Amino acid sequence: MISNDTPFQRNNIPHVFAVLLLILILLISGVPGYLSGDWQWKEPPSVVNLKEVKQIRQTGLKLSGWETLETVERQIGGRKWLWQKIKQKNSDKISYLLLLPQNGPRNQPQTEWTEIKGFWQWKIAQFETPEFTIQPTDSSSNTSNKIKANFFRAVLKNRQTYAILQWYATPNGGSPSTFKWFVADQMAQLRKERVPWVAVNIMIPMEPLGEVKENWSIAQSLVEQVQASLVVNSFQKK
């Protein structure tokens, strides 16, 4: 379940603290490698669940309460995304998932949101970055997932309008920021582990020039289902 916290509250991140933390991480991880001559970034630790994560590109995601109508690869910004058309059961509501799973141990999230925007030439309005907590749905997991996402209205040239949600999904939550993943991955590498990721872009058709927040209920439901599917089927250690 998603917690009842107000998702649109502003939370100013202490950027200076984050930068200092990153410097500390790099020093801690770099000094032992420098002394031994074994630089960790020469050969980073393997991603334990990489096979399951890459499988998303072929199968898409199974979402509770939704059925898949179509899956196809789409070339966006020089990379192949999985385009998944889904329909809510017992409803005519259609939505779309764009998924870019990690493709290798050196593969990092980069400029995915900029590339998607340029591909469709979106006009963006009503931009928010809601934060909320998803409680575990799987009995084997006791860890809640904290999610922060880009949420906005996008209008295409043909005036088709969508409510958009974007975040980099990881085993413990997600954020639209590549920096958040980088810090988490560096911390994991200190334990000889990695943080797998999947770029998620949800597109929900909406009324032209409508209010994007009117679509928040279905957006919440989709975020919950997507994150739960990734945690249980792709991120969970076998």
66-103 residue pLDDT tens: 999 999 999 998 899 999 999 999 999 999 999 999 99
Query: DSSP code of 231?
Result: I
The proportion of the chain whose per-residue pLDDT surpasses 70, expressed as a percent, equals: 79
Which whole-number Å values give the CA distances from 57 to 30, 80, 148, in the listed order?
34, 9, 24
Cα(115)–Cα(111) distance, integer angstroms: 6
| Domain parsing of the chain, residue ranges | 15-235
Q: With a cut of 60, say whether residue 33 has pLDDT above it.
A: no
At residue 144, the pLDDT reads 77
- Cα-flanking dihedrals φ and ψ of residue 88, to 5°? -70, 130
For the segment 174-225, what is each residue's pLDDT rounded down to a tens digit? 999 999 999 999 999 999 999 999 999 999 999 998 999 999 999 999 999 9
At residue 236, the pLDDT reads 84
- The model carries a pTM of 0.84
For the segment 161-179, what is each residue's pLDDT rounded down to a tens digit? 999 999 999 999 999 999 9
